[in-house]
Structure 1
């Protein structure tokens, strides 16, 4: 994959999808349907998926594409592919809480190498540059021209006073029990893949996920965190979280800055 070609394409598609999502988000009403796995889906999910998948297939016709909203793509097999969650945080979208993102990533040999996470309602965009460094773009998000960017890096963590970020919609007792093993200065909640980005920018030190996620939920945020010096490991044995797994389902995991002294499960 030529990253100099990839990055402008995925950034542009994320902005285009985000604009369509916000058009629906700001409308008076929108329909909510329920998928076979009982998760909600809206017109925004479907419209964003159409924009992104068409753009990726046109630009990279020979690369395997996996996207949440196209069930037939979930039967694909391989460890190198493009993976998309066109609207991560649908519950946040439905309740108009703003913590939803557009996620597009490229996985090679099981590792998320490059990705973009765009939170249109928050006006925050994070992506990996062609050289692998993650940045946050600030500005008007022009389709053709990248605005001002700042390199992002994980925190130099103080294990006596950690900042924890956890799921807004899926936090439970098991998550709290694990967090309580650390010396926590403060904790915050966030929806969607923004949690990875808060670790990537140093706004949080650790994000433990004790609950079900799919690879399209995590790949783009994982790529951004790797490009900022962070890591993502399995919850059970602290080995790196890899991609291209059966059914694209993730085990429990921990995303963190390397200075954090991880506790066992």
Structure 2
């Protein structure tokens, strides 16, 4: 049995520590950008945050398998219960200093993200599932040693004649636009990283379709936050639940949404 109270406390604290580390580099005059083997960018902030979070999780929960983006080449073990981390989700947003980047830490149990934290340090927004599984947004000064005011969050009661849609800022394409065109749209916003899940979780958006490549560490924490707010994430093709622990930790296309949205077929 996982001690959820301890887990949430550790995840929250590590996300704040990692966020401070990331912001120190973000606010510097310059920083190096390298390309990984898959041509995706990585910075010193990704690597520093990964080292910090990994050390903290391994010390607190040595019995639980740990998967992180920056150590993904070493992940030869598959399982349906594990901790999964993207230390800096939205590296492109970070590089271009757009602020839409997050620290993502989640617990997956039985292939389902059950607890998670999404922290956007440049925006000062913190979302997480509490020990009971309810998702909250914490406001205030966000101190490591003291929890600020927390507000339970929940998905919208969507008006299917006037939907609020959120889509990727850096990965928008024609296939995404074609799918969005199937809906009656009141307004549409763009956001980076796992913040898109959180905008659906708070009711600031009704649906987030993703027609593009993502990995499980990109989505698990946001998925947990959305689920704890009453939302769901399903596969784009057949609307079956999106599960975790897949071969290579790669996701299919998916839709994150408030259940009041009437989903259209792909």
| TM-score normalised per structure 1 | 0.99
Which residue does the alignment assign to 2:223? 222
CA distance in structure 2 between the aligned counterparts of 1:163 and 1:212, rounded to whole angstroms: 23
Which residue does the alignment assign to 2:38? 37
Which residue does the alignment assign to 2:176? 175
CA distance in structure 2 between the aligned counterparts of 1:133 and 1:62, rounded to whole angstroms: 25
Residue 177 of structure 1, CA deviation: 0.2
Residue 145 of structure 1, CA deviation: 1.5
- Contact map agreement 1:67 1:73 (CA 8 A) in 2: no
Which runs of no fewer than 5 residues in structure 1 stay unpaired?
Answer: none
Which residue does the alignment assign to 2:204? 203
Residue 73 of structure 1, CA deviation: 3.9
Which residue does the alignment assign to 1:60? 61
CA distance in structure 1 between the aligned counterparts of 2:16 and 2:135, rounded to whole angstroms: 17
CA distance in structure 1 between the aligned counterparts of 2:165 and 2:51, rounded to whole angstroms: 35
Deviations 1:35-70 (A, max 9, x none): 000000000000000100000000000100000001
- Higher mean alpha-carbon deviation, 251-260 vs 70-79, is at 70-79
Which residue does the alignment assign to 2:100? 99
What SS is found at the alignment partner of 2:248? helix
What SS is found at the alignment partner of 1:166? strand
CA distance in structure 1 between the aligned counterparts of 2:146 and 2:212, rounded to whole angstroms: 38
Change (3 A) 1:175 1:28: same
Structure-to-structure mapping, 1:249-264, within 5 angstroms: 249-264=250-265
Which residue does the alignment assign to 2:150? 149
Change (3 A) 1:73 1:104: farther
What SS is found at the alignment partner of 1:177? helix
CA distance in structure 2 between the aligned counterparts of 1:93 and 1:76, rounded to whole angstroms: 30
Residue 74 of structure 1, CA deviation: 2.7
Please give the root-mean-square deviation of Cα atoms over the aligned residues, in Å: 0.5
Count, aligned residues: 265
CA distance in structure 2 between the aligned counterparts of 1:144 and 1:107, rounded to whole angstroms: 26
Deviations 1:109-167 (A, max 9, x none): 00000000000000000000000100000011111211001000000000000000000
Q: Runs of 4 or more off by more than 6 Å in structure 1?
A: none
CA distance in structure 2 between the aligned counterparts of 1:116 and 1:104, rounded to whole angstroms: 5
- Higher mean alpha-carbon deviation, 230-239 vs 70-79, is at 70-79
Residue 2 of structure 1, CA deviation: 1.1
CA distance in structure 2 between the aligned counterparts of 1:143 and 1:255, rounded to whole angstroms: 30
1:109 equivalent in alignment to 2:110: yes
